[in-house]
Structure 1
Amino acid sequence: MTVRLRGITWDHERGRDSIVAASRAYADAGHDVDVEWEARSLQAFADQDLESLTRSYDLLVIDHPHIPQAAHAGLLAPLPDGEGPDAFVGRSDASYRWQGAQYALAIDAAAQVAAYRPDLLAEPPRTWPDVLDLARDGRVLWPAKPIDAFASVFTLSSALQDADAGRGGFAAPDAFTQAWELLGRLRDLVPAECLHENPIQTADRLAASNRWAYAPLLYGYSNYARAGFREHRLRWTDIPQIDGQPRGSMLGGAGLAVSARTAHRDEAIAFASWVATGEVQRGVYARAGGQPGHVSAWTDAALDELTGGFFAGTRRTLELASLRPQHPDYMAVQDAACERVHRGLLTREPAPDVLADLDLLFESSGAVHARH
């Protein structure tokens, strides 16, 4: 008898087409399992209510900061370690671990990287002074709606202090001040509408118009580097360097989790584990538009060629990415921090005032606890 599972993912080719194709391949390989997938918006993905979702779905593609809260509430089934943390790029695998257990598998890897139009720009800027010079020429976009503005502040603060932000407060004052002033200059040089855009909207603008040539901080989407996805192909590269390294980028990505309430736990875990294998990740999953987390996909020459050098061009940034604090209270802290950062950028508040509020948020929440 065929086991029927329900899954929820996010509504973009990267998050939807890839997992649907993998599910079909799983059934075609002789597994008597049928997975029906539903998709929700990118914003809903970030704001997801796992309490209700785990009642309705067996499989969930989720954002890693939700893991501690979901695991603490008993919403997710612990998963086998599979091929281990070294099988996934950077700290992708570690981001789904909590108190010694694995609660999702890193089927999708992402961080803030840079994108440019190779037909308009022979070489992208490699340092922040070069980025600002290009921005003065009116060629730069920067997605900075609240979550993305916060991600950029987190990225630059982590890079400038050479340590993850959000521990023992938000950031060292000198590092935060430099980050805030740099992003303030960038804000003044990009179109005002950038402060209300997400990475997908920015990538779409870059791919559609010859007016813009570069974006320094946006979550990478290999789809835009594939022939025929949009009118013009984007090329993806490491973020601008700090002290000669593209370090500090706030880690994103998505993991495949299993509801603790599913009536088909064994079948759901078996499917999730299969999707996370190197063969599937660099094969059907990636070729259907996915952005795999498995290292073997990031080192696959044919896949890199298919995506215009996306994986080779951004891997160093992924390896040096920063990780948000892991704690059950973290999402409430992040929501407040996003609003505070965005308001500070819009009203041009001084760095000390914004940092004082961020420090209070991170100190009072318990989100400074060490990762498990």
Structure 2
Amino acid sequence: MTVELRGLTWDHPRGYRPLEAFEAAGGAPGVRVHWDRQPLSGFESTPLAKLAERYDLLIVDHPGLGAAIEAAAVLPVEDVFGARDLSRWRAASIPPTWESYRLHGFGWALPLDAAAQVCLLRPDLLRGAPPTTWSEVLQLADRAGIVLCVARPHAGLALLAMAGDRSHRTLLIRDRAARALDLLRAVWRRSDQRAAALDPIEIHELLAASNDLVCCPLVFSYAAYGRSTDGRQPLGWAPAPRLTGSDRHGGSTLGGTGLAVTPRAYDRVLSVTTYVRALLDLTTQAGIVSSVGGQSATAAVWQSAEVDADWNGHYSATRATVESAYVRPRFDGWIAFQDELSERVREFLRSDADPETTVAGLEADYRARVPDALEVG
């Protein structure tokens, strides 16, 4: 007897190909999951409680956890899986993906896909080494074509990458944030602003097809663009630029997705466990997920020279950035604030506003949204 489950993932090949390839390869014994797809925007426009009524498994991102928990749309992983499995999966995950799905003392999803903002390049067009600091990005912008990823939430995420307070007690580290805004505006004024409305996937497409653009200094990476296909040139990556030369790592915000279990599946947790054990097995992650362009959250995949070579050095170039990435707050209401933050940053880029005044305003708005007693994660 085969147990049938339903899952919902995002409708980009990185979101559905690994899951479909796993099923096509035989999947988990005695369990089949039918995966539906919807745009990322659909996870915001459709109430999570409604999705949880229709699906057993949801692919989620960590900034939306607060809303998912508030809607009772996902179960704590401790209520579904055994301690031994959880310990093994935690040890196998690339930092900080596991912790990004923990809130209020529980885990709410298992890391499945890992990504962070890094420096995206056209290696065949770039003259010299990739920029390692934002001052070097500014110098590059004076002599070559670059773009910034500032559409939708990404303008705000760039600021958080460069100057976010990792304790979440405040939104920003003020002196760093003022410097970051100043540099972002200077780079913006030198960038190709026709890319202003493009998301990370479209930025990758643009650079792969262009003969004029050499760099996007901070954008969520897609390893699949390391191969030349359909007339596209292969892209390369480098660590996220540092705000100052003394910073240990480049500033980046964590992305990726996790696998969450809904209350609808509670009476089939044994089947869910069987499925997840097979899906998160290293053989699956390295041999199936990576082969179709998935970006596994399994650390061993990021350490694999074979996988790295398959995707033009994506993993070795970006691993340190992922491991040191900023994890966003996850309280209910964060997504709406994140959108407002990005709009404010875009307004700043187009203006002559004072960066310190802008930072003070952003901080005040954040504090108004986050009561002192609230655990923001």
Question: Under a length normalisation based on structure 1, what TM-score does the superposition of the two structures give?
Answer: 0.91
Alignment of 1:82-231 (within 5 A): 82-121=87-126, 122-158=128-164, 163-164=165-166, 167-228=168-229, 231=232
Contact 2:240 2:251 in 1 (8 A): no
Q: Residues 37-92 of structure 1, C-alpha deviation per residue, up to 9 Å, x if partnerless? A: 12222333566632221111111111111113312432112223252433211210
Aligned to 1:366: 370
Cα RMSD of the aligned pairs, angstroms, is 2.2
Aligned to 1:342: 346
CA–CA separation in structure 2 for the residues paired with 1:284 and 1:245: 34
Q: Residues 319-342 of structure 1, C-alpha deviation per residue, up to 9 Å, x if partnerless? A: 111111232332232232223222
Alignment of 1:1-372 (within 5 A): 1-27=1-27, 31-45=29-43, 49-79=47-77, 80=81, 81-121=86-126, 122-158=128-164, 163-164=165-166, 167-228=168-229, 231-241=232-242, 242=244, 243-262=246-265, 264-366=268-370, 369-370=374-375
Structure 1 residues 60-69 or 216-225, which shifts more?
60-69
CA–CA separation in structure 2 for the residues paired with 1:103 and 1:26: 27
CA–CA separation in structure 1 for the residues paired with 2:279 and 2:44: 22
Q: Provide closer, same or farther for how the CA distance between residues 25 and 287 of structure 1 changes in structure 2, counting only shifts above 3 A.
A: same
Give, as a single letter, the amino acid of the residue that structure 2 aligns with 1:177: A
Contact 1:96 1:105 in 2 (8 A): yes
CA–CA separation in structure 1 for the residues paired with 2:45 and 2:18: 22
Contact 2:22 2:288 in 1 (8 A): yes
CA–CA separation in structure 2 for the residues paired with 1:352 and 1:117: 34
CA–CA separation in structure 1 for the residues paired with 2:48 and 2:140: 42
Q: Residues 232-286 of structure 1, C-alpha deviation per residue, up to 9 Å, x if partnerless? A: 1001110112325333311111011111123634323432343223332222111
Contact 1:329 1:367 in 2 (8 A): no
Q: Provide closer, same or farther for how the CA distance between residues 100 and 169 of structure 1 changes in structure 2, counting only shifts above 3 A.
A: closer
* Alignment length (residue pairs): 365
TM-aligned CA deviation for residue 26 of structure 1: 4.3
| SS of equivalent to 1:196 | coil
Structure 1 residues 131-140 or 42-51, which shifts more?
42-51
CA–CA separation in structure 2 for the residues paired with 1:37 and 1:19: 8
Structure 1 residues 10-19 or 342-351, which shifts more?
342-351
TM-aligned CA deviation for residue 293 of structure 1: 0.6
CA–CA separation in structure 2 for the residues paired with 1:232 and 1:346: 32
| SS of equivalent to 2:97 | coil
Q: Residues 181-202 of structure 1, C-alpha deviation per residue, up to 9 Å, x if partnerless? A: 0100111011222321111111
Q: Residues 75-123 of structure 1, C-alpha deviation per residue, up to 9 Å, x if partnerless? A: 1122232524332112101111122222111110011011111111253
Structure 1 residues 77-86 or 135-144, which shifts more?
77-86
TM-aligned CA deviation for residue 301 of structure 1: 1.1
TM-aligned CA deviation for residue 317 of structure 1: 0.6
Q: Residues 133-170 of structure 1, C-alpha deviation per residue, up to 9 Å, x if partnerless? A: 22122421111113110110111113xxxx427x2332
CA–CA separation in structure 2 for the residues paired with 1:56 and 1:101: 24
Contact 1:107 1:281 in 2 (8 A): no
CA–CA separation in structure 1 for the residues paired with 2:312 and 2:371: 38
Contact 1:68 1:326 in 2 (8 A): yes
CA–CA separation in structure 1 for the residues paired with 2:94 and 2:318: 11
Contact 1:118 1:234 in 2 (8 A): yes
CA–CA separation in structure 1 for the residues paired with 2:93 and 2:352: 39
| SS of equivalent to 1:261 | helix
Identity of aligned residues (%): 31
Contact 1:325 1:370 in 2 (8 A): no
Q: Provide closer, same or farther for how the CA distance between residues 215 and 47 of structure 1 changes in structure 2, counting only shifts above 3 A.
A: farther
Contact 1:298 1:315 in 2 (8 A): yes
CA–CA separation in structure 1 for the residues paired with 2:297 and 2:94: 6
| SS of equivalent to 2:237 | strand
Contact 1:169 1:360 in 2 (8 A): no
Structure 1 residues 314-323 or 341-350, which shifts more?
341-350
Give, as a single letter, the amino acid of the residue that structure 1 aligns with 2:53: R
| SS of equivalent to 2:95 | coil
CA–CA separation in structure 1 for the residues paired with 2:171 and 2:371: 10
Q: Residues 9-33 of structure 1, C-alpha deviation per residue, up to 9 Å, x if partnerless? A: 1111111111111233343x5x122
CA–CA separation in structure 2 for the residues paired with 1:351 and 1:146: 21
